[in-house]
Amino acid sequence: MFRILFVMLFAVFLGVNSYAVNPKQYIGKKNLPVHITADKLTAFDKKGIYIFEGDVVAKRGDVTLKSDRMKVIKNLKTGQIDKVICTGHVIITKEDKRATGDKAIYEANKSMVTLIGNAKVVSGKNNIEADRIVYYLDKDYVVSQADNSTKRVEVTIYPNKKEKKSHTNKKEKK
């Protein structure tokens, strides 16, 4: 459940780098364009740094990422994205899934996504809240932690509803 949201969380970033590792649900969708709008873009092409500021909205397929600021750092040798840092009112949505935090970091070399500060992931009625939520894309696991002793990790998980199977009378073979 949380895996799906974290995969979607940075599908936008993976779309910026068309050669990045595509999680299972995005295999075959790597050609989807990323559309980014912002009040301002500052591009340092020779340094491989692109800074989007002011009401940043990045969309790729059915995934939307919003933040106050997004910094994209590209590896000059490979041309691939090394890191994406979003700060200020970070919101990532896909269908009934939503992730929020003060900051979000995607690190390609570690295949890792980190939500920092008031981090919350909601999938349907299920949710997890912590100071920090880290998702390891390659290893497919999540680590959540509180940064101080006064706040703890909070998780609410509802059981899956099982569909009732209809009982039909089968005719016996003669």
The burial class, CB within 10 Å (0-12 / 13-18 / 19+), for 18 is middle
User: How far apart are the C-alpha atoms of 132 and 36, rounded to whole Å?
Assistant: 26
Spatial neighbors of 146 by CB under 8 A, at least 6 apart, are 130, 131, 132, 152, 153
pLDDT at 169: 53
Average pLDDT over residues 68-95: 91
pLDDT for 57-71, tens place per residue?
Answer: 988 888 888 999 999
User: Contact, 78 vs 4, CB < 8 A?
Assistant: no
pLDDT at 97: 85
Q: What radius of gyration do the chain's Cα atoms show?
A: 19
Domain formed by 2-156, architecture: Sandwich (2.60)
Q: What is the DSSP letter of 6?
A: H
pLDDT at 10: 45
Mean pLDDT of the chain: 78
User: Contact, 129 vs 98, CB < 8 A?
Assistant: no
165 — pLDDT class (breaks 50, 70, 90): low
Query: Does the predicted model carry a pTM greater than 0.75?
Result: no
